[in-house]
Chain A
Amino acid sequence: EDQVTQSPEALRLQEGESSSLNCSYTVSGLRGLFWYRQDPGKGPEFLFTLYSAGEEKEKERLKATLTKKESFLHITAPKPEDSATYLCAAYPSGTYKYIFGTGTRLKVLA
C-alpha cells in the first residue's frame, strides 16, 4: 500500500537553530514528491517539487532533497515566521492522486 510518513510530528526550535524534517515514502513508481507549507486557517501553499533521487531545490532558508526512500526539508537559521505545518505529498505512477503525510508542526521561538 502506498504510504507517506512524516517525522517528527512536532518540532520546536529556537530562532537560528537549524534542523531537518523527514518525509519517508513507499510509493510504487514515484512520479513526484511535493512539499507544502500550511498556516492555520489557510490552504497548503506549494513550496517545492522533486522528481528524481538526488534532486535538490532551495528557497530562502529552505532546502528540499530527495533519495529513493525519503525526502528532507532542511531549515537553515529559521525565523519565527517559518512557524507552520509542513506537508509532503507523493504520487505514484499511473495516477495523479497525491498521498499526503500528516505533516510536521514547526514552531520557531524568538
Chain B
Amino acid sequence: DAGVIQSPRHEVTEMGQEVTLRCKPISGHDYLFWYRQTMMRGLELLIYFNNNVPIDDSGMPEDRFSAKMPNASFSTLKIQPSEPRDSAVYFCASSLQGWQPQHFGDGTRLSIL
C-alpha cells in the first residue's frame, strides 16, 4: 500500500518567494495533519483536517502560512512570503480516524535563503 506522499522532498528558495508543499494522504484516511520539525522545537502540529475541513489551525505560526485540502486525496501548505526562519522539515501525516495512529510521509526539507 502506498504511504503518505509528499512533494517536493527538498526545496531551496530565496526569502520573499512563495512556497507550496504538497501532500497525498493514504487512501481512505479521514484525517490529515501538517507538522513542522526543527532541532529547537521538535515536531509541532500546524493544522489538521477532518474530511477535508480544517478543524484546528492554532499551530499555524502567522498569516503567511495557509493550508487547503480541496479533496480527500490532496492537500497543500503554502508560505507567502517565505522567510529564513521558516526553514525546517515539514511533514504531512494521515490517520483513518482521529484517535488512531498517524502515518507520516518522509517530509519536505525547506531552506529559505
A residues within 8 Å of B by Cβ?
31-32, 34, 36, 41-46, 49, 87, 89, 91, 95-98, 100-103
Contacts and interface: CB of A to CB of B under 8 A. Distances in A.
Contacts, number: 47
Interface size class of B (residues with CB under 8 A): 20 to 34
B107 interface: yes
Interface of B: 4, 31, 33, 42-45, 48, 55-56, 59, 91, 93, 95, 98-107
A83 B55 CA distance: 36
SS class, residues of chain B in contact with chain A: strand
B106 A46 contact: no
A103 B101 contact: no
A46 B43 contact: no
Given A31-B99, A43-B91, A102-B42, A97 B48 contact: yes
- Where chain A touches its partner, the secondary structure class is loop
B31 A43 contact: no
Given A96-B31, A96-B48, A44 B42 contact: no
Nearest to A89: B43
B99 A100 contact: no
A97 B46 CA distance: 9
Contacts of A46: 101-103
Given A43-B4, A49-B101, 8 more contacts: A34-B101, A41-B106, A43-B105, A46-B102, A49-B100, A98-B33, A100-B42, A101-B42
